[in-house]
Structure 1
């Protein structure tokens, strides 16, 4: 059977009472393709070191028949592993989806697998496991997807990282030992590990894979170097149960999170496909969003040193720059004067705000900005009224120590009374105050673990959004610790990293932009020197880097020089002019041989904006011209370099009047020859604006 998208075809080989396999995943096949011949063309004869009946891992790999990889499903009874024998029982196909039923008649367990191709040509895979027996089982492993990888994909890009150093790309050959990665902190973590990109080096084609889940995960690629099966590697992605085995009671079922696959001609095409999918099918009511407002966040400016006069002064200086949203960060509630107390006590501090938040919000509104607030609902401080009243509400083992992280404990989100309390407090804040935005933080790993933590988080977030549908929510987890399509189906943006150093941000944002569109990636101008790296950088460089994302400011404008404020205000105005292009357009990674140059471009209708940023001292004085992408060969484009220009680098710009008034070039010339920009000196960034001229 076949499933077709706009540009992709899946072909399944199904044998009733036997196996189910994916025998083709590639560009769309002709309607007349002989599928039986296609399947036969991909089969090999048995060789000497295979079992007499070579195993086919297929869509539900098992430890039977001689296959030695990771089983898709592992069941236990009273702690003892059960041998499974799932056989294809039934299937049906309609509306770009196929549903396949596997049955183990001896265990009385069924598995229902759905493969679906969306309007964006993205493939979604889900599984339901049903226990029809009379005994309670333990589900030790449950993969959401098992993908027999087409053998042309011989390389894989994965992502590793740490706090403030997220999303380090690592591309490697798919070696015989395969690939394995998991998280164990109760969230995907700073490495972005449940995102993978497989590469076909011969054609440039790529295959992206992701698990839409905000908790712990496991990802494996089992290779078959000895050809015990058919030589194909098998990719599997699934959840890690928080407390070991997940229960599968008698006469019950459980559903896996959704796995996402996307096939594209190259990296930029993959990014565009995933961006389209996210905008159309994941982000909550994306089409109704207003333009992404420029933020200022109080944290880097004031930290815990909050007072009404200081906050109002910060709002004044922010509004003078053209900022549109004022976000009050940590320290506004209860006795929160440091990071050791009061989490859970979500009441406005009378010491800082004797008349509540009303006067500050009114002041912010009078300046033409809306108001946002920081919260960290899933956490509790041992020094808090909530903990004193309900010490049993946190994650803990009875009779054991309760180790903290960042001076805090995690609430047990699987408990209904915990969620009810948090909903009541947060909903009251939103009803009593005109709050347009919540920055929802999650700064602690989850230990000891408990089953149902992620589901409880989702339930609370869903209930709060249903009661307050106009409030925008940001998912922050010490930066990029919890970024996935599961949380993005419930929020409006994420915080890619706590690190605002522009050189680090260029790398982090490039990696995330291959997977997520710019409008959901918060990208702020931080202070200089940077508080994390200690590096001093110019305002021009910081502001140009921050343009490509959801722009904000995480610094005190009052501490800036007049020149810095002027440069920042100009870039904020540029962002407002171009955010329609940046946040709805097609995104391209622009390649350059100099490893210190990071370049990207967004194009929508007849306009495009690119940035090229040099992070190091170039080994050559005349950098290779920047070549653009995605243009029409025969079309003519007016090319300008929006001011302000980088100071020293602009001295090496040939005929600056021509660049300022605009050069007219064909799309072919811009893509083949490119633009000779001065990109020799470190911390230099140029903006390039394009407008397609009428024919």
Structure 2
């Protein structure tokens, strides 16, 4: 994990677990030299940039390029000075190497529990004319092939300046032989894997919606064209932020590739007065020379253990039943208790009351902001209901949407200026709601007081925190005109501040993030809420692509997945209960339907599903995931989870459509110990790990559409 500095050559060599990252100061500019497989630290590294030392800026491979002084590619930052100029020239001033990883003030970030887990390089660059200082931070981890990068801007001059662009990471590769991979989608169609070759010009993914969005996730990877799931060089970039972002790859006239990621400069500017600073969110950069799968597992291990926090980080997550698709808004206390009673009989551990319990909320036109019980539905109140459910042996959970306000609500009538709005402009409604202005402290304090009172009064073990619309009319009545371009970012900072208070003061509550499903599935939210409702689409076939795609970056312990009724409420498809269960068990498992409508036969089957998941959930939630067959490439999907010591594994296999006179199918497994023998649970069959990984596991005949099966493996005599 050392960070080397060679003073005679102004060369920095950062070594993480199996990775080297090298740059050199050339004419005052940090110039990128190498990122890839771990290199020995010796004198030969000084010649990595020998040819580039005389290059002009437009050709120099840089670490944090500027605008206006000879580099015509996309800059990493832009500044507007008081004299009207936009030219700055950051040059190296000093550096420091720190044990451990300092916190980022007011922002989510990866962390260490011991200073021995990481080292951090802080590189100080300065522009003498303006007094702007930039501190670039690089953290390398002992146990992960990952580097965390962020930037802090400090105005040490005598005049204010305005940041127009403040990205978190920039890196110049000295070739363009790459494909780019990213996750696209829409509501109910999140996590769709896209891959295409890079060509001259700019390839950009971004969000301008105020949140990280369903449409594009804050992640990109560059892959060598021959890279696949298990082979080849892959460079991943994941942005720990929940608002507007940009990630781009630019191929220049010399076929170099500049990759950048950070806060979207669209509609962004930040006033920095003398003595003030601005901290960018961090980017996690992961290198793999063993394909996409190894990159994913690096992100999974890091995010599961050093981004997610709290007591639930390392605990098995409860099996839940949510009443939303069972009842929607139409329920009463008696109906909820009926569902909970059946849930307890089936072995379910948590009952979640979804939307409709508060104010006068009989549809989505009213009451957001009025966080008190609807006594017409719950005549004895939430506390009574929660206690009744606890008496059945289930924990109690609750849905809230605290960032929103309905125009038809007591809160809006009292505080119509508390929403994001621009004076004199219309207020655009989506889902009949507006967004509270979380850039304002009094708004956050009000929501904190209301929720903390609720959480203290009612025995709540789980909160589903929803956010069901994008931002429009982004403005605040609390800030002057020159700071209105800061509101989108200030909103995100305010949300983080509120979540920090709530999660620290109510550590016993498991928080799950939701934004109409996966509209804000990003690393920033995982810092406060260790799991996310992945998609409102619960169809077992559609979920194959959604969950496969999200697993490219996010650990399965963060992926919420439920069994729902058929025909499916989103796509109208009928899939077997077994397949719905196997798909949902490939995540944080639960049910979202009316359990009282199950037949006795179905109840017995669900009991078996629940018992099975309890048996495997530690393996699923904490094991290493290996993707075996991609739903984006054919009629089959398969993945498996392997324990850290390689003595246990669970394999899930799905086939979408039946085939006439089909061939014999087999799965080539991954991640096992080739020296061990594994028995298939429930059979006498024993296979060597080498046989399973190189010759494959036969799949028994499966009849019909939308079918699935699973195999539990346990090593013998290990």
TM-score (norm 2): 0.89
DSSP-derived class of the 1:284 partner: coil
Quick check: 1:3–1:97 contact (8 Å CA) kept in 2?
no
Aligned ranges for residues 18-57 of structure 1 at < 5 Å? 18-32=28-42, 34-40=44-50, 43=51, 55-57=59-61
Residues in 1 aligned to 2:260 and 2:53: alpha-carbon distance in whole angstroms? 26
CA distance in 2, matches of 1:44, 1:402: 54
Kindly tell me: are residues 680 and 268 of structure 1, through their superposed partners in 2, closer, same or farther at Cα, counting changes over 3 Å?
farther
1:400 equivalenced with 2:428 (yes/no): no
Aligned pair 1:596/2:643, yes or no?
no
Give the conservation status (yes or no) of the 8 Å contact 1:592–1:626: no
Cα pair 1:12 1:24 within 8 Å, conserved: yes
Q: What is the CA-CA distance between 1:92 and the residue it aligns to?
A: 3.0
Aligned to 1:98: 121
Q: Distance in 1 between matches of 2:265 and 2:417?
A: 22
1:55 and 1:65 in contact (8 A); partners too:
no
1:353 corresponds, among 357, 374, 378, to 378
Distance 1:144 1:137 in 2: 19
Aligned to 1:83: 87
1:329 paired with 2:354, answer yes
Q: Does the CA-based 8 Å contact 1:175-1:223 persist in structure 2?
A: yes
Distance (Å, rounded) in 2 between the aligned partners of 1:136 and 1:616: 63
Q: Is residue 57–residue 71 contact of structure 2 (8 Å, CA) maintained in 1?
A: no
Q: Is the 8 A contact 1:181 1:218 kept in 2?
A: yes
Give the equivalent residue in structure 1 for 2:102.
none
Q: Which residue of 1 aligns with 2:672?
A: 631
C-alpha contact 2:33 2:61 (8 A) present in aligned 1: no
1:94-138 residue CA offsets vs partner (Å, 9 max, x unmatched): 543222111111121111101111232321001001112222222
Shift of 1:679: 5.3
Query: Residue 71 of structure 2 is aligned with which of 56, 67, 70?
Result: 67
Counterpart for residue 185 of structure 1: 209
Structure-2 residue corresponding to 1:528? 566
Equivalent in the alignment of 2:479: none
Alignment of structure 1 residues 235-314 onto 2, 5 Å: 235-240=259-264, 244-264=268-288, 265-285=290-310, 289-314=314-339
**Distance (whole Å) between structure 2 residues aligned to residue 319 and residue 548 of structure 1:** 22
Conserved 8 A contact 1:597-1:613: yes
1:243·1:449 contact (CA, 8 Å) conserved in 2?
no
Consecutive unaligned residues of structure 1, counting only runs of 5 or more, are 641-659
SS across alignment from 1:336:
coil
How many residue pairs match? The answer is 665
Classify 1:152/1:285 alpha carbon distance in 2 versus 1 (closer, same or farther; 3 Å). farther
Contact 1:522 1:551 in 2 (8 A): yes
Q: Distance in 2 between matches of 1:286 and 1:488?
A: 14
State the secondary structure of the residue aligned to 1:166: coil
- Is 1:612 matched up with 2:622? no
Partner residue of 1:669? 691
1:281-680 equivalence runs, <5 A? 281-285=306-310, 289-450=314-475, 451=487, 452-591=490-629, 595-604=634-643, 605=645, 606-618=647-659, 621-640=662-681, 660-677=682-699, 678=701
1:514 Cα deviation from its structure 2 partner = 2.0
Instruction: Please tell me whether the aligned partners of residues 620 and 680 of structure 1 are also in contact (alpha carbons under 8 angstroms).
Output: no
Q: Is the 1:622–1:679 Cα contact (8 Å) retained in structure 2?
A: no
> Matches of 1:366 and 1:453 in 2, distance apart?
40
Gaps of 5+ in 2: 1-11, 100-118, 476-486
Q: Is the 8 A contact 2:166 2:265 kept in 1?
A: no
Q: Does 1:142 align with 2:153?
A: no
1:167 to 191, 198, 212: 191
**2:240 corresponds to:** 212
Normalising by structure 1, we get a TM-score of: 0.92
**Local SS of the residue matching 2:693:** helix
Partner SS, residue 87 of structure 2: coil
Question: Within the alignment, does 1:4 sit opposite 2:15 as a pair?
Answer: yes
Pair 669,177 (structure 1): closer, same or farther in 2 beyond 3 Å:
same
Give the whole-Å Cα distance in 2 for the aligned partners of 1:87 and 1:53: 13
Mean CA deviation greater in 65-74 or 76-85: 76-85
Corresponding residue for 1:650?
none
- For the structure 1 residues 271 and 53, does the alpha-carbon distance in structure 2 shift closer, same or farther, using more than 3 Å as the test? closer
Question: 2:35 and 2:611 mapped to 1: Cα distance?
Answer: 46
Q: 1:260 aligns to what SS in structure 2?
A: strand
Cα distance in 1 for partners of 2:177, 2:713 equals 36
- Going from structure 1 to structure 2, the CA distance change for 1:193 and 1:583 (only over 3 Å counts) comes to closer
SS of corresponding position for 2:195: strand
Partner of 2:24: 13
- What is residue 113 of structure 2 aligned with on the other side? none
CA offset at residue 309 of structure 1? Answer: 0.6
Distance 1:219 1:111, change over 3 A: same
For residues 345 and 287 of structure 1, do their structure 2 counterparts lie closer, same or farther at Cα, with a shift above 3 Å needed?
Answer: closer
Quick check: 1:304–1:330 contact (8 Å CA) kept in 2?
yes
For residues 277-298 of structure 1, give each alpha carbon's deviation from its aligned partner in whole angstroms, at most 9, with x where no partner exists: 0122111136764321101111
8 A contact 2:61–2:173 mirrored in 1: no
| C-alpha spacing 1:81/1:244, structure 2 compared with 1 (3 Å) | farther
The one-character-per-residue Cα deviations of 1:264-310 (angstroms, maximum 9, x if unpaired) are 22222112211110122111136764321101111000110120111
SS at match of 1:530: coil
Deviations 1:415-470 (A, max 9, x none): 11100110010000010011011100000111112411101111111111122111
Q: Aligned pair 1:157/2:181, yes or no?
A: yes
Measured in 2, the distance between the counterparts of 1:425 and 1:24 equals 52
Query: Is the 8 Å Cα contact of residues 331 and 338 (structure 1) preserved in structure 2?
Result: yes
Aligned equivalent of 1:644: none
Deviation, structure 1 residue 33: 5.6
Classify 1:449/1:57 alpha carbon distance in 2 versus 1 (closer, same or farther; 3 Å). farther
- How well do the aligned residues superpose, as a CA RMSD in angstroms? 2.0
Contact 1:296-1:327 at 8 Å conserved across structures: yes
Partner Cα separation in structure 2 for residue 198 and residue 623 of structure 1: 36
Distance between the aligned counterparts of 2:345 and 2:521, measured in 1? Answer: 33
The verdict on how the C-alpha distance between 1:54 and 1:510 changes in structure 2, with shifts beyond 3 A counting, is: closer
**Aligned-pair CA distance for 1:45:** 9.3
- Contact 1:74/1:81 (CA < 8 Å) preserved in 2? no
Moved more, 57-66 or 6-15: 57-66
Q: Which runs of 4+ in 1 moved over 6 A?
A: none
The SS at the match of 2:454 is helix
CA contact (8 A) 2:68 2:86 kept: no
Shifted more, 318-327 versus 74-83: the winner is 74-83
